[in-house]
Amino acid sequence: MIAGAADTAGAMAPHTLDERIPTVCRIADVLRICQISPAAFFKQRKRGTFPIPEIEPPIDSSPRFRGEDVKAWKDGRMAPRRGRRP
* Burial profile 12-32: b = 16 or more Cβ within 10 angstroms, e = fewer: eeebeeeeebeeebeeebbbb
Contact assessment for residue 30 and residue 12, using Cβ atoms and an 8 Å cutoff: no
Give tens-digit pLDDT for 44-81.
999 988 989 999 887 788 889 999 999 888 888 876 66
**pLDDT, tens digit, 9 for 90 and up, residues 13-40:** 555 555 688 899 999 999 999 889 999 9
pTM of the predicted protein model: 0.68
